[in-house]
Amino acid sequence: MCPWFESRWYHITKTSGLRSACFISDLFPMKAVFAQSPEPHIDPLFESLRKWLGQHTPTSVVVVTDPMTEKWCLPALNPHLPPGTQFLRLGQHGEKIKSIEHTHALWDSFEGMGMDRHGLVIALGGGTITDLTAFASSTYLRGVHFWLIPTTLLAMVDAAVGGKTGINFRGLKNRLGTFASPVGISIHTAFLDTLNAREMSNGWAEHIKHTLIASEEAAQLPWEDTMRNAQPQAFEEAILYSIGIKSNIVGQDPTETKGARKTLNFGHTTGHALEAWAMGQSIDLKHGEAVAWGMRIALKLSELNESCPNCASGDFDGVSRSLMELIPLPCNVPDAPVLWEFMRSDKKNEGDQVKVVLLDGPGRPKFDQEVTLTDLEQAILQLPIS
């Protein structure tokens, strides 16, 4: 028998709280799995989750964690969970959990605990846990309810918002996925207290992306100061600002068919290429670090590309230097042709063309802009490095 089918193989362990489920189902109507995403909100006492649980009395509740979020985040959530809640802790953490094997392990565990379509799966973790758990939940029994509790800055400002789920496949990022909305998203900013500086920088990358694509004042906005001297109040403002931008864009184009949503991929075509290359080399590169570098390339491509007439050479060098300093890359970058091969596999391409998001000035994104390998080589060569 294939070893993937042994759920223990994946080190998913059930932790405390194995009292048997004791809910009586209310037979509440199932929502379509893909519906308008709920607005995430700062909710330090998980009031909206408790209210939902009280109204819907799910047949089972399961919380998915990784070792870090079990240790640092579960204690704050635990008192708000109903009796009978079950817990699944993945044995690993980080990008490697976004795999078909971990998805299989979750499905296996849902099956083992007898979850039906009136159950609730709660994801407690960073973007990898929210992406994986949402994917497994949205495909199990054609979709069971799931609730997201992001515990990293990156997941709060971005990954938990917008209804995209996904795992990596054959070395390519987010190759398998669904559009599916959680029934709720709770943000508890105290979880940020246990994140190290590198993880905080990682999250700021997506916040900066939102400011660059949505604000004409992006170059003057306080993101640099907010990052350097971050105070809790400033964090909350930045998180809500990012959520507002992303929700607005997603609301215009929930399934990325009209175009508006594509602007959220700013910095991601080259960023994902770098990330996929790093995964193959077992290099510890964070998503936000890859995206920060990808944005620097996209900014330089914007300066060089004729389709951005309002953008002159050197216009973005200041922003690019700040990105380099605040969110440094932990590794060297491979040669452009190596990245290009990954970029050609990007799922947003049509045919052989590589299309990216450029900026015709801050707050003026242009999606579906075709670029060539020569453009990429030029952009890398001309990146400001000091």
Ligand X SMILES: NC(=O)c1ccc[n+]([C@@H]2O[C@H](COP(=O)([O-])OP(=O)(O)OC[C@H]3O[C@@H](n4cnc5c(N)ncnc54)[C@H](O)[C@@H]3O)[C@@H](O)[C@H]2O)c1
Catalytic residues: 142, 164, 206, 246, 256, 261, 265, 268, 272, 287
Binding mask 267-306 for ligand X (x = CB under 6 A): -------------------xx-------------------
Is residue 21 involved in binding ligand X (CB under 6 A)?
Answer: no
Q: Which of 159, 183, 185, 290 binds ligand X (CB under 6 A)?
A: 159
CB of 66 to ligand X, least distance (A): 5
Q: Which stretch binds ligand X (CB under 6 A): 35-43, 87-95, 137-145, 337-345?
A: 87-95
Give the residue from 89, 81, 142, 135 showing the smallest Cα distance to 115: 142
Paired residues of 304 in beta bridges: none
CB of 259 to ligand X, least distance (A): 17
Q: Which of 89, 93, 104, 262 binds ligand X (CB under 6 A)?
A: 93
Cβ neighbours of residue 32 closer than 8 Å, sequence gap 6 or more: none
Q: Which of 99, 109, 128, 211 binds ligand X (CB under 6 A)?
A: 128
Q: How wide is the angle at C-alpha 97 spanned by C-alphas 104 and 6, nearest 5°?
A: 35
Q: Which of 199, 303, 346, 375 binds ligand X (CB under 6 A)?
A: 199
The pairs formed by 322-327 with CB atoms below 8 angstroms and a separation of 24 or more are: 322/224, 323/205, 323/208, 323/292, 323/293, 323/295, 323/296, 324/292, 324/296, 324/384, 324/385, 326/201, 326/204, 326/224, 326/227, 326/228, 326/292, 327/201, 327/202, 327/204, 327/205, 327/288, 327/289, 327/292
CB of 171 to ligand X, least distance (A): 14
Is residue 143 involved in binding ligand X (CB under 6 A)?
Answer: no
- Give the 3-state secondary structure of residue 332: coil
Q: How big is the site for ligand X, counted in residues (CB under 6 A)?
A: 32
Taking the least distance from each CB to ligand X, the nearer of 58 and 288 is 288
Q: Which of 151, 186, 263, 369 binds ligand X (CB under 6 A)?
A: 151
